Amino acid sequence: MASPLPLLPVFPPPPDGEDLSSELQYHLWLRIFYRLRDGESLISADTFLAAMGEEYQALTRQRPYQRIRALLKRIISNVNRKHPETFLTNGVQNAIATAFYKSTEKMSWSASDIEQKGLDTIRRFVSGQMRSVLAYAGIDTNELDLVTCVRSTAKKVRQSASPGDTSNPHDNPQPSPADAAAKMVAANSAAQMDTSQSGSVPHTRLDLPQSPDIQGALADGRVTLDELSQRNQQRAETRKALDR
């Protein structure tokens, strides 16, 4: 399957015996970010590998053969283990929102019904059917922005009733793609330098300098610098709602 994103300048594939360049890793994670922002459900190592394989082929114009797939698999494992809140949590959250939307369709819920009863319904779904999935992935339920899941579903229902509205129904605020992609490259590089660590690593924010490429990604108009603060605010609202 081809990448759903526009093509970018071609990157050279890594020479035999070498790892993926930091620049290529950055653009791979940037494109994964945009797929997640558009609502794609990525909830396992296999789904991440399939998506990143498509993006590798889009960026290098070469199919990822066995060695490259092994490199991609290692990168994905390092990143999702060290920073599940950045990509994996968003992929799972998209899956929850999609499943919830399909359920509301079956129940013929209106947008008002979703806003009134949706949070309790999703909370039961997460604590029940999704519990083992979240535990296996190492995701804390407090990291899930359930309020945004409800809002995006209600918005999608309203859009289906108003075909003229072309805004993105999966418009879930997420961390800025430049910060996210740069963090992932740094995390993977650190993991390659120190392979003695095992198990979960505490979630820490890496304050990295922004290169011209990163600044250009922020300036392309698709994201804004305040998206991360919006997401943190919405997570706080979720926690407050769940504590009631």
pLDDT in tens, 215-233: 444 344 444 444 444 544 5
pLDDT score recorded for residue 159: 87
pLDDT in tens, 165-217: 544 444 444 445 545 555 555 555 444 444 333 333 223 222 233 334 434 44
Domain assignment present for residue 75? The answer is no
Q: Which of 65, 112, 126 is nearest to 73 (CA)?
A: 65
Task: Specify if 63 maps to a domain.
Answer: no
CA distances from residue 113 to 80, 93, 109, 110, 241 in whole angstroms, order as listed: 35, 21, 6, 5, 17
As for how many domains the chain has, the answer is 1
Average pLDDT over residues 155-166: 74
C-beta atoms surrounding 61 within 10 Å? 12
Specify if 150 maps to a domain: yes
Contact between 225 and 176 (Cβ < 8 Å): yes
The boundaries of the domain holding residue 145 are: 88-161
Reference 165, options 153, 174, 173, 155; nearest CA is 155
How far apart are the C-alpha atoms of 141 and 215, rounded to whole Å? 32
Residue 55 lies in a domain: no
Q: Which two tokens stand for residue 225?
A: 């610098």
Task: Specify if 211 maps to a domain.
Answer: no
108: in domain: yes
For 1-51, what is each residue's pLDDT tens digit? 677 776 667 889 999 889 999 999 999 999 999 999 999 999 889 999 999
**Residue 91 — pLDDT band, cuts 50, 70, 90?**
very high
Tens digit of each residue's pLDDT (9 = 90 or more) over 43-81: 889 999 999 999 999 999 999 999 999 999 999 999 998
Give the pLDDT confidence score for residue 244 in this predicted structure. Answer: 56
Q: What is the pLDDT of residue 4?
A: 75
Residue 132 maps to a domain: yes
pLDDT for position 164 = 57
Q: What is the pLDDT of residue 163?
A: 60
DSSP code, position 7: P
Token digits for 244?
């009631």
Question: Quick one: pLDDT at residue 139?
Answer: 85
Give the residue with greater pLDDT, 2 vs 134.
134
Tell me the C-alpha distance between 151 and 174, whole Å. Answer: 14
Could you tell me the pTM of the whole model? 0.64
pLDDT higher than threshold 80 for residue 142: yes
Q: Hey, how many other C-beta atoms are within 10 angstroms of the C-beta on 98? A: 18
Q: Of all residues in the chain, what percent carry a pLDDT higher than 90?
A: 36
Phi, psi (5° rounding) for residue 239? -60, -40
Cα 103 from Cα 122, distance rounded (Å)? 10
pLDDT at 97 over 70: yes
- Is residue 38 domain-resident? no
